[in-house]
């Protein structure tokens, strides 16, 4: 068996062991099984990487033929190339750290073994998503991660509110999935195959602006909107914070939510053929980045702030893709995986220390109490704010530079969004870690740094958040852009259909200027945050005292309420209308009417009947007799015809 | 010979049970189970050894003068349905083992009689024989529902009986017409003869057959007998109806309607498809607000049948292949879901979602089975529901993209009502009704485990099934699109 097949197989086995053995396998064993499965996948990834770099050619593995209908052949097969291998590193690498962290975080939970099983199942699905060599295998993973997300958001299933959040996530994702599915149908209709290699090869023969491709990419993008929480399908992600914090880190920050970006980068030739769709992607990205950032400014739940920042950062990634800077968008996927996983895990460590408290108005002054958590959180905060030389700076700056080349207005909006990011992240940091403690005495008494299984992943991720950006330094530093060079082969198709692709070097002076502006903007935002919240100077007011515009934003612009009023309630009302009117009075009314009519007409034959069944038996007998007679007559006729000689 | 054995075994079992009147409950159960298991083994043997090139046939003169024969044959499509029937009937019988029914000999005898007729329907090569079995299948299920059902059952099931008989009359007229025109009752010969039937007559034939099969499945607007019947019937009868009898309708569309009225299909197929898709959405929307779980699943079945009908009527390879696979998937999942409702009712005396909740805390095993079967119903990839639904939607989409898009809403709506059902029954806090809920064991696991296993296996290896039916479907399609 190929090592590539083993990569997703390990977590599957881990899932089966911990899932079937739940409550029989002791916690001391369940943890290592879960982490081990993830670690083995990581090792498998390293080996697959060496195989890939030997030849630089994609490696294909056909596991089995899955669906065959006529000429449509859908294989359960894998493709390892430069793009999937990076995703594999992120998924199994960050995944392993988060599994490890979970050993500490979830240890005392009664569902510990089940949790480990679900995490492994998620890993399996996520690996299928990025390893598949065709759109259908991607779709298997796509829906699979959706299921795991559902299971893990609603992990504490006694709580109905969590259950509702889980369902919301699944259903909103399904809306996106329908778009994805229609995109796949269109691909099959036009290319007769779902294999990436074959589709992209055929696509090379098309011209830019092809309307079919615009439709395909548009529908695929709807899928991406759902999975990657973009306007208008983003509202599930903040609610998804109901899940245990490692889940938020792994699924709702580092990996699953970036699937949409992966999909677009994977299909880059199709998107390059459809500039209209790209434009839509870019504007949706900008809108999401800015709107989510504004909401993030007023949130007081530590996880909610991070959730909105995730939505916002995903917007930046789409912005990058939308201006054809696929590598830049993908670069941000990588660095974001590091610093956002770090921030969530550190937040988890804070929550752990605070005995479950998530409201930053009840925190403060934790810097000295939980030092490792605080320092690592600070690293993450600086990284996401885009301060040189941490990871977020390089990836975000690269996106902004490309956006600047593409559209100045978009750039201004993106810059404002990025200032807001720095502002709300430092607001979060100051309110949590500086000033004096605002929680209860009990909480203060219980304050403790988390165990090593939790702090080690924090430290590793902090280091990665620090140095992760060096894989893609701007040209002005005269160092190679390792990531761009590595990913080069996957853009072969885009270059074939658009000779201009990637041929816009930014002038050095512009690049310096842009870097200066974004760094300056970030520093200004941080300074403003400091003047407002440094030392927890202004603690946000209680919910009841929030008024005006702030209240509207605090309540997320009432988008949930609007969706509820526009979509959910009408469907419910329709459902009730169907049940109370259409069913009894409409369809059944007609049926009963016909019944009555028959009844009144059958008055004449009533004496012949011994109840309704009798009538129908009678009818049957009559009709059989009838057809026999007709048949006989027909045959007699035929015989006569033959006799007379008519043909 | 195999075909004959498949019909004879449940028939003998059924007669044996009648003969055993007065014996105790256990004897009836065991005789019924044993019979159905022997049948299952033979069906499985047929499934495994089947070679799509050969079509097994037996033929005896029935009404010699009329050239009507007792003519059975097994091609890939038949085989799939035989396998489904062979698989489900033992599970349906096993699902009753925890309970005792009055007049148990008759009860089990009727189940086996229904199986006999179903096998007949799926193998008939003579159109009158098809009609005969098609009608006979209903009678035992009618009695099962009427005698062993709830207090309203006699009234409701009578309506079902009359309604479907009414539909069958249309079919009978159509059959007689075809028979007279072509002067043969051999379905295969009718296929060739159908080409020479005038378009106007074909249109009538199309609607006559469509109404008959649409009532059976059911498809909007002929569905009103279904929710009441499903919820008032005793669970084994509901399982037979939703798992197997409804499939006779889809089977009829594929085997009878499509090849016998191809011109009618091209004229009116789209209208019938639109009706089916409206039914799909309509049923799903109703299911969203249902609080009675049995009714919820009934409406969800109705929705699923709508998609199957639309897929078949698309006249595409994917649509029909999808419908075949989905028939099996839906049959299995419906039996599983109705059984779970029975388990809940048995322990709590309610089917009301408002009264349930928190069951999962007591039932790790049931939760897993329920989850797997539910995922099959919402068509998650790698479960049995996905491949069928994917191919069905693709078939509808290929025929008409707009309609395909609307039909696609099923993947959203299905998730809405299924997850709601799961949430309200299994999750949340326990209450006094569910506090003492005990986990499944014994025969309950013996029913749920094979179902859950097949949900996954079919989802992972759908080609096992698709390869069996594809040659037969292709030869039908050649008749429709020559």
Nearest Cβ partner for A627 among B176, B224, B225: B176
pLDDT score of A601 more than 90: no
Q: Pick from B19, B11, B12: which is nearest to B105 by CA? A: B19
What is the interface pTM, i.e. ipTM, of the complex?
0.94
Q: Examine the pLDDT at A65 and tell me if it is beyond 70.
A: yes
State whether B381 and A143 contact (CB < 8 Å): yes
Closest CA in chain B for residue A176: B412
pLDDT at A82: 92
- Of the partner residues B227, B364, B466, the one whose CB lies closest to the CB of residue A67: B466
Q: Is the pLDDT of residue B434 over 60?
A: yes
Which chain B residue is nearest to residue A76, measuring alpha carbons? B460
Percentage of residues in chain B with pLDDT exceeding 90? Answer: 74
pLDDT at A610 (0 to 100): 46
Q: How far apart are CA B44 and CA B349, in angstroms?
A: 37
Predicted pLDDT of residue B16: 92
Q: In the prediction, which pLDDT does A623 show?
A: 62
Would you put residue A76 in left (φ > 0), alpha (ψ -120 to 50) or beta? beta
CA B243, B245, B246, B252: dihedral to nearest 10 degrees? 130
Which of A199-208, A300-309, A511-520, A629-638 shows the lowest per-residue confidence on average (mean pLDDT)?
A: A629-638
Short-list B419, B446, B368, B350, CA closest to B91: B446
Alpha carbon of residue A581 to chain centroid: 40
* Containing structural domain, residue A565: 555-601
For residue B203, give Cα distances in angstroms to B268, B270, B482: 7, 13, 18
B110 sits in the region (left: phi over 0; alpha: psi -120 to 50; else beta) called: alpha
Least Cα separation, residue B395 to chain A (angstroms)? 9
Work out how many domains chain A is built from and give that number.
4
Size of interface A-B (CB pairs under 8 A): 155
CB interface of A with B, residues 217-246, below 8 Å: none
Instruction: List, for residues A113-161, the tens digit of each pLDDT value.
Output: 999 999 999 999 999 999 999 999 999 999 999 999 999 999 999 999 9
Facing A616 at nearest CB: one of B165, B390, B420: B165
For testing contact with chain A, the best of B381, B391, B468 (most A CBs within 10 A): B381
Local confidence band at B81 (pLDDT 50, 70, 90 cut-offs): very high
Q: Tell me, yes or no, if A71 comes closer than 8 A to chain B by beta carbon.
A: no
Beta strands in A200-305 (DSSP E): none
Residues of chain B neighbouring A68 (CB-CB closer than 8 A): 463, 466-467, 470
Burial environment of residue A622 by CB neighbours within 10 A (0 to 12, 13 to 18, 19 or more): exposed
User: A637 to chain B nearest CA, in Å?
Assistant: 12
Which single residue is written with the structure tokens 């003869």? B193
What pLDDT is attached to residue A647? 45
Q: How many CB atoms lie within 10 A of CB A391?
A: 31
Kindly state whether residues A209 and A78 are assigned to the same domain.
Answer: no
Do A633 and A501 lie in one domain? The reply is no
| Structure confidence by residue, pLDDT tens digits, B39-67 | 999 999 999 988 766 666 888 887 777 88
Contact B412 A178 (CB under 8 A): yes
Interface test with A, best of B161, B184, B286 (most A CBs within 10 A): B286
- Are residues A488 and A622 located together in one domain of the fold? no
Closest residue of B to A22, CA-based?
A: B364
Instruction: Give pLDDT tens digits for A450-497.
Output: 889 899 999 999 999 999 888 888 877 888 888 888 988 899 888 888
Q: Please identify, among A96, A114, A133, the residue that sits at the C-terminal boundary of a domain.
A: A133
Q: Both A222 and A338 in a single domain?
A: yes
**Cβ separation of B180 and A66 shorter than 8 Å?**
no
Mutate to test the interface with B, among A16, A62, A67 (most CBs of B within 10 A): A67
| Stretch among A106-110, A262-266, A333-337, A348-352 having the lowest mean pLDDT | A106-110
Chain A nearest CA to B93, separation (Å) = 28
The answer to whether the CB of A440 falls within 8 A of the CB of A541 is: no
Taking CA–CA distances from A173, the nearest residue in chain B reads B412
Together in a domain, A571 and A613: no
**pLDDT number for residue B313:** 96
Q: What would the mean pLDDT of B152-164 be, rounded to a whole number? A: 85
Instruction: Please indicate whether, in this complex, the C-beta atoms of A171 and B463 are within 8 angstroms of each other.
Output: no
Q: Which residues of chain A are within 8 Å of residue B382 when distances are taken between CB atoms?
A: 140, 144
Whether residues A522 and A582 fall in one domain:
no
Is the confidence at residue B284, as pLDDT, over 70? yes
Lowest mean pLDDT among A307-316, A387-396, A613-622, B194-203: A613-622
In this complex, which of B180, B224, B393 lies closest to A631 when CB atoms are compared? B180
With bands split at pLDDT 50, 70 and 90, how would you rate the model's confidence at A608?
Answer: very low
Q: Which residues of B touch A572 (CB under 8 A)?
A: 288-289
- Hey, which residues 551-610 in chain A have their CB within 8 Å of chain B? 571-572, 574-576, 578-579, 582-583, 587-588, 590-591, 595
**Residue that wins the pLDDT comparison between B165 and A347:** A347
Contact (CB<8Å) B289/A171: no
Cβ of A623 and B169 within 8 Å? yes
Chain A positions touching B393 (Cβ under 8 A) are: 181, 185
For residue A311, give Cα distances in angstroms to A49, A329, A530, B22.
31, 14, 24, 70
Digit-coded pLDDT (tens) for B361-398: 999 999 999 999 999 999 999 999 999 999 999 999 99
Lowest mean pLDDT among A145-154, A345-354, A609-618: A609-618
Q: Closest chain A residue to B165 measured between Cα atoms?
A: A616
Residue A536, CB-side half-sphere exposure with 13 Å CA sphere? 20
At A258 the pLDDT is 94
Report in angstroms the alpha-carbon separations of A382 from A249, A390, A394, A472, B479. Answer: 18, 7, 12, 18, 69
Q: Note whether A260 and A406 are same-domain residues.
A: yes
Q: Which residues of B touch A631 (CB under 8 A)?
A: 66, 179-180
Tell me the backbone φ, ψ of residue A79, rounded to 5 degrees.
Answer: -140, 120
Cβ of residue A147 closer than 8 Å to a chain B Cβ: yes
Contact call for B286 and A579, based on CB within 8 A: yes
Task: Return the closest-CA partner of residue B307 out of B327, B288, B331.
Answer: B327
Indicate if the pLDDT at residue A612 is higher than 60: no
Alpha-carbon gap: A168 to the closest alpha carbon of chain B (Å): 9
Residue B180 CB-density burial (10 A; 0-12 exposed, 13-18 middle, 19+ buried): middle
* Residue A57 backbone class (left: φ over 0; alpha: ψ -120 to 50; beta: rest): beta
Does the distance separating the beta carbons of A160 and B423 come in below 8 Å? yes
Domain boundary among A115, A133, A151: A133
Q: Which of A69, A155, A192, A609 to mutate to test the interface with B (most CBs of B within 10 A)?
A: A69
Q: How far is B37 from chain A (nearest CA, A)?
A: 28
| Neighbour-count burial of A570, counting CB atoms closer than 10 A to its CB (0-12 exposed, 13-18 middle, 19+ buried) | exposed
- Same structural domain for residues A228 and A349? yes
Query: Using CB atoms, which residue from A139, A182, A571 is nearest to B381?
Result: A139
Q: How far is CA A411 from CA A277, A293, A399, A418, in A?
A: 19, 15, 9, 10
pLDDT at A504 over 90: no
Per-chain mean pLDDT for chain A: 89
Taking 80 as the threshold, does the pLDDT of residue A607 lie above it?
no
Using DSSP's 3-state secondary structure scheme, residue B292 falls into strand
pLDDT band at B408 (very low <50, low <70, confident <90, very high): very high
- Among the partner residues B176, B358, B387, nearest to A67 by beta-carbon distance: B387
| Option in A164, A182, A587 nearest B224 (CB) | A587
Q: Which of A2-6, A592-596, B464-468 has the lowest mean pLDDT?
A: A592-596
Contact predicate B27/B132, CB 8 Å: no
Nearest CB to A163 within list B427, B467, B474: B427
The shortest C-alpha distance from A86 to chain B (Å) reads: 25
Q: What's the token pair of residue B252?
A: 């009829």
A429-435 mean pLDDT: 92
Distance, in angstroms, between B310 CA and closest chain A CA? Answer: 17
């Amino acid at each position: 068996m190929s090592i590539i097949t083993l990569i997703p197989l390990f977590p599957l086995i881990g899932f089966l062991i911990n899932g079937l053995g739940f409550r029989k396998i002791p916690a001391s064993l369940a943890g290592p099984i879960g982490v081990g499965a993830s670690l083995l996948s990581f090792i498998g990834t390293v080996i697959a990487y060496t195989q890939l770099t030997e030849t630089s050619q994609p490696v294909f593995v056909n596991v089995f033929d899955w669906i065959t209908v006529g000429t449509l052949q859908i294989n359960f097969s894998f493709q390892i190339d430069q793009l999937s291998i990076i995703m594999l590193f992120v998924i199994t690498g960050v995944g392993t750290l988060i599994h490890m962290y979970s050993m500490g975080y979830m240890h005392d939970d009664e569902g510990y073994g089940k949790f480990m099983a679900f995490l492994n199942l998620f890993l399996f699905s996520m690996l299928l998503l990025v390893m598949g060599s065709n759109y259908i295998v991607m779709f298997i993973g796509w829906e699979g991660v959706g299921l795991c997300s559902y299971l893990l958001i609603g992990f504490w299933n006694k709580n109905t509110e969590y259950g509702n959040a889980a369902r919301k996530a699944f259903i909103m994702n399904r809306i996106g999935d329908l778009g994805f599915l229609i995109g796949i149908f269109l691909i099959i209709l036009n290319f007769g195959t779902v294999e990436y290699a074959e589709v992209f090869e055929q696509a090379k023969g098309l011209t830019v602006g092809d309307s079919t491709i615009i439709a395909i990419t548009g529908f695929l993008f709807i899928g991406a909107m759902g999975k990657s929480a973009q306007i208008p399908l983003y509202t599930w992600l903040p609610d998804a914070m109901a899940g245990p914090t490692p889940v938020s880190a792994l699924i709702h920050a580092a990996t699953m939510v970036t699937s949409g970006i992966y999909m677009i980068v994977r299909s880059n030739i199709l998107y390059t053929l459809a500039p209209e769709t790209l434009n839509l992607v870019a504007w949706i990205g900008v809108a999401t980045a800015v709107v989510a950032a504004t909401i993030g400014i007023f949130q007081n739940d530590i996880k909610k702030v991070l959730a909105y920042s995730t939505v916002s950062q995903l917007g930046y990634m789409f912005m990058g893709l939308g201006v054809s800077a696929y590598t830049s968008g993908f670069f941000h996927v990588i660095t974001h995986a590091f610093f956002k996983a770090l921030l969530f895990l550190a937040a988890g460590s804070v929550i752990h220390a605070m005995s479950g408290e998530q409201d930053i108005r009840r925190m403060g002054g934790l810097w000295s109490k939980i030092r490792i958590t605080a320092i690592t959180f600070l690293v993450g905060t600086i990284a996401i704010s885009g301060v040189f030389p941490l990871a977020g700076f390089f990836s975000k700056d690269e996106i902004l530079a490309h956006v600047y080349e593409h559209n100045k207005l978009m750039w201004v909006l993106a810059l404002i969004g990025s200032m807001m990011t720095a502002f709300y992240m430092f607001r979060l940091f100051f309110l949590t870690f500086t000033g004096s403690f605002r929680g209860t005495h009990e909480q203060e008494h219980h304050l403790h740094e988390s165990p090593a299984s939790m702090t080690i992943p924090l430290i590793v991720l902090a280091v990665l958040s620090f140095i992760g950006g060096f894989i893609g330094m701007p040209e002005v530093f005269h160092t190679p852009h390792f990531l761009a060079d590595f990913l080069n082969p996957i853009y072969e198709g885009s270059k074939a259909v658009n000779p201009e692709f990637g041929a816009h070097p930014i002038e050095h002076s512009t690049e310096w200027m842009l870097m200066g502006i974004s760094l300056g903007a970030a520093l200004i935002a941080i300074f403003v945050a400091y003047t407002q919240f440094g030392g927890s100077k202004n603690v946000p007011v209680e919910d009841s005292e929030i008024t005006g515009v702030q209240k509207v934003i605090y309540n997320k612009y009432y988008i949930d309420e609007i969706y509820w009023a526009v979509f959910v309630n009408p469907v419910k009302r329709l459902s009730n209308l169907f049940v109370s009117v259409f069913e009894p009075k409409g369809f059944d009314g007609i049926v009963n009417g016909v019944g009555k009519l028959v009844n009144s007409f059958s008055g004449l034959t009533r004496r012949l009947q011994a109840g309704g069944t009798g009538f129908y038996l009678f009818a049957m007998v009559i009709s059989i007799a009838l057809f026999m007679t007709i048949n006989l007559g027909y045959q007699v006729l035929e015989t006569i015809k033959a006799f007379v000689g008519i043909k | 010979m195999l075909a004959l054995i498949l019909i004879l075994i449940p028939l003998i079992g059924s007669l044996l049970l009648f003969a055993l009147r007065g014996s105790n409950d256990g004897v009836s159960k065991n005789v019924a189970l044993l019979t159905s298991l022997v049948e299952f083994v033979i069906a499985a043997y047929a499934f495994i050894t089947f070679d799509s090139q050969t079509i097994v046939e037996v033929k005896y003169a029935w009404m010699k003068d009329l050239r009507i024969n007792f003519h059975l044959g097994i091609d890939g499509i038949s085989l799939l349905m035989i396998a489904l029937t062979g698989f489900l009937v033992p599970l349906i019988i096993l699902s009753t083992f925890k309970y005792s029914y009055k007049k148990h000999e008759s009860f089990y005898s009727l189940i086996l009689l229904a199986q006999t007729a179903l096998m007949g329907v799926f193998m008939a090569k003579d159109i009158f024989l098809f009609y005969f079995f098609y009608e006979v299948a209903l009678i035992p299920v009618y009695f099962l529902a009427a005698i062993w059902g709830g207090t309203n059952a006699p009234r409701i099931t009578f309506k079902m009986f009359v309604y479907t008989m009414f539909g069958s009359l249309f079919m009978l007229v159509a059959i007689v017409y075809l028979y007279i025109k072509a002067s043969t009752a051999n379905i295969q010969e009718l296929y060739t003869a159908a080409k020479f039937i005038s378009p106007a007559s074909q249109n009538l034939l199309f609607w006559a057959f469509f109404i008959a099969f649409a009532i059976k499945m059911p498809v909007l607007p002929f569905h009103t007998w279904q929710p009441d019947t499903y919820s008032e019937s005793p669970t084994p009868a509901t399982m037979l109806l939703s798992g197997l009898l409804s499939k006779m309708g889809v089977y009829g569309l594929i085997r009878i309607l499509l090849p016998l009225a191809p011109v009618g299909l091209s004229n009116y197929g789209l209208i019938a498809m639109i009706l089916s898709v409206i039914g799909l959405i309509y049923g799903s929307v109703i299911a969203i607000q249902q609080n009675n779980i049995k009714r919820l699943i009934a409406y969800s079945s109705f929705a699923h049948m709508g998609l199957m009908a639309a897929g078949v009527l698309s006249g595409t390879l994917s649509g029909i292949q999808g419908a075949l696979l989905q028939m099996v998937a839906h049959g299995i999942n419906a039996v599983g879901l109705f059984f779970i409702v029975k388990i809940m009712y048995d322990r709590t005396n309610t089917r009301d979602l408002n009264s349930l909740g928190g069951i999962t805390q007591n039932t790790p095993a049931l939760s897993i089975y329920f989850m797997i079967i539910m995922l099959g119903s919402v068509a998650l990839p790698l479960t049995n529901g996905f491949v069928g639904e994917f191919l069905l939607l693709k078939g509808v989409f290929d025929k008409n993209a707009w309609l395909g898009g609307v039909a696609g809403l099923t993947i959203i709506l299905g998730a809405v009502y299924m997850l709601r059902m799961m949430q309200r029954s299994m999750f949340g806090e326990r209450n006094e009704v569910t506090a003492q809920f005990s986990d499944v064991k014994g025969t309950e696991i013996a029913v749920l485990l094979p179902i859950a296993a097949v949900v996954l296996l079919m989802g992972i290896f759908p080609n096992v099934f698709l390869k069996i039916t594809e040659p037969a479907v292709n030869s039908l399609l050649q008749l429709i699109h020559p």
